[in-house]
A and B are shown apart, each in its own frame.
Chain A
Amino acid sequence: MQQLTEIRWHARAGQGAVTAAKLVAETALAADQYMQAMPEYGPERMGAPIKAFTRISPEPIDIHCNIENPNVVILLDDTLLDVVDVAEGLVADGTIIINTCTPPDAIKRALGLADSITVACVDASGIALDTIKRDIPNTPMVGALAKVTGAVEIDSVKSLLAKTFGKKFGQDIIDANLASVDRAYEEVTTA
């Protein structure tokens, strides 16, 4: 794994991007990594576009500035493709992971992205509706992140989910979330 992985999350307020960024941070800690997770604070309205950031590193992280050149960009909502510049500042060999039904090569063409950039697509909302019975795409997207980048380990994600959700929810909800992570891990496609 590389020295420092920087992730930028795009979502609409209420979709659980901050929870997902936190889950990734805790997964990193479980693997004895260092991490930062910070939402970008502004006026908070349900449905408004928001950003969140995660840093993961095997070494202590000194920097506290915004992430300008992420290695990974994650979109929890594909309607944001028309609203935000998802590829802004992305490193040349970066990865974009999108919750969408559109195939990755079509997205790559539509955004005019360089060949060196990896686009990964997964119908996280569809998976969430199937498994959790609600459109909460954040946990399946962490499953896709594990598959595409290896920044976090799938087993570690699942055991932490079981642990943190175990305090609040019943076994059926935990199982549904675990299933959503597994399915996103299996179903994500890249171009």
Chain B
Amino acid sequence: MRRCANPPLPLQQTTHLFKPTNLVVSKEAFRKYYVRAFISGVVCAAFILATGQSFGNDYSAPRLAGSDQPDINGIWQALNTANYDIERHMARPAMALREGPHGPVPAAAVVKLGAVGAVPGGMGILVDANGSPSTSGIPYTPEALEKKRENAAQWLDRDPEIKCYLPGVPRANYMPYPFQIIQNENAVFIAYEYAGAVRDVYFDNDVPAPVDSWMGQSDGYWEGDTLVIEVTGQLDSSWFDRAGNHHSGAIKVTERWTPTGPNHLHYEATIEDPETFTEPWTIAMPLYRRMEPNARLMDFKCVEFVEELMYGEWRRYPLDE
């Protein structure tokens, strides 16, 4: 089934690209793009009117034994570069950059990583009201946009992932690690490989989160074959990605998990946070089943791996720089 999708943006590679958000696009290309996007939008709207669905899906998943819920058990993983930057972005030399004599180069702290430390590009995971890839960025308030830029400039000091802190939602779902959904008639539990983060989805809860937490409180219900989870009570400390995209403690995330095939889920999350954004916005992506016969979550207790970073200076005999 044809999915509603805008034509790809006519990006041009430049050799001097310092600010990752400054995508360079010619005016002529943009004009053509918008004409094509408009036509695509009209076609898409007609399609939606015809089918009554914002997102084409005629797949009927197998039922969970003893229940009418679709079975979404399994090990899943996103396959995109959203953890680097959920917005559309081009490849760049490193997450931490400094000005070189002829353009940006990796910061001293990461230069030895070479190509391993480079950032792969990505088309971004924001979608518009039709579920089509969005042409605009995150609708930050001016102050919040300023903070995002500061975060990006201070990435090495500020990204909670660097310190192995719990990732929060939605970031946990598109980090480059698998996660496992353990679902029975009465429960959906999500165990993430990264940092051993966990979520226990409540289905019968009418009590607000008693205290804020890194992973928040997940309240779920089934809407047909879609698992809707409202995530509230998150701390303001987690980020959306390595690019410094952030939120406040007022964030509410409404996730929609829908099986679209035996080995695919469609994941969508709408972000509301009036303290940070001028309006709600939505991300979407497919999630893929890990198909290896021996697929499983491995230990990734990164707490141990960041001890040198966080406490190395307090060793009795600090290691050489």
A and B pair up: no
Could you list which residues of chain B lie within 8 angstroms of chain A, going by C-beta atoms?
A: none
A residues touching B (Cβ–Cβ < 8 Å)?
Answer: none
